[in-house]
Amino acid sequence: MNTSTIFPSSDYNDVIVDSPTIPSKREQRLDKAINYFSSVMFAIQVILAAVFSGIELHYGIDYLNQCPIQPWINIFLIVHGSTKLAWVLLGIVSFFNGRVIYNMMNKKTLARSIIILILPLQLLFALWFLAWFIVGNVWVFSCKSRVQYTDPINTSTYCQQTLYSAAYGSIISTYIVVGIVAILTVKRRVIGKTIRQRISS
């Protein structure tokens, strides 16, 4: 009887060790982006954006041409709401990529390829939102001291009150949400850094 069929060889050259692949720095950065876009915080941002998008589209469309003091307020709400809705769809794809493709299916290479396509789009949306938000601030706040809601015949100062309040509230809400997200992001990074330092020490 061949004893080699009973007792495994003790020769270490016959043992194949499947060592895990260490991701490169580029892959680590992509993994961080994937983790962010699949986080609970990002999911909350997407949900809030969907809600704000619906509100902006509702008031922008329903009260069209009812703000002669600044007709661009309607356009601001409609365009801002529409692009925000498009960003929500991109956010859902980003979240699905991280939670399902990267984590559940464990297809990390595919998930990294997808995030490479997503990141430039996220950047474009961020730049667009910043520019359009600044313009919207100018349109809304420039007429705040002159706007009146009772005399639609006086087109130089009239704006439908619900419409103007919606635009004003949308801007203020955006400031609040961005501030909260920024604080939570900084807080999470500081806490994470502190934990890593304690573990390493």
pLDDT digits (tens, 9 = 90+) for 86-110: 999 999 999 999 999 999 999 999 9
* pLDDT at residue number 22: 77
pLDDT digits (tens, 9 = 90+) for 5-54: 444 444 444 443 334 577 788 999 999 999 999 999 999 999 999 999 99
- Looking at the chain, the whole-number percentage of residues with pLDDT higher than 70 is 89
* pLDDT at residue number 186: 86
* pLDDT at residue number 57: 97
HEC per residue, the chain = CCHHHCCCCCCHHHCCCCCCCCCCHHHHHHHHHHHHHCCHHHHHHHHHHHHHHHHHHHHHHHCCCCCCCCCHHHHHHHHHHHHHHHHHHHHHHHHHHHHHHHHHCCCHHHHHHHHHHHHHHHHHHHHHHHHHHHHHHHHHHCCCCCCECCCCCCCCCECCHHHHHHHHHHHHHHHHHHHHHHHHHHHHHHHHHHHHHHHHC
140 token code pair: 């809304």
Q: Is the pLDDT at 193 greater than 90, yes or no?
A: no
Which amino acid belongs to residue 197? Q
Q: With CA atoms as reference, report the closest residue to 27 among 90, 152, 114, 112.
A: 112
Highest-pLDDT range among 14-18, 110-114, 192-196: 110-114
* pLDDT at residue number 4: 46
pLDDT digits (tens, 9 = 90+) for 129-149: 999 999 999 999 999 999 999
160 token code pair: 């439908």
* pLDDT at residue number 132: 96
Report pTM: 0.80
pLDDT digits (tens, 9 = 90+) for 55-90: 999 999 999 999 999 999 999 999 999 999 999 999
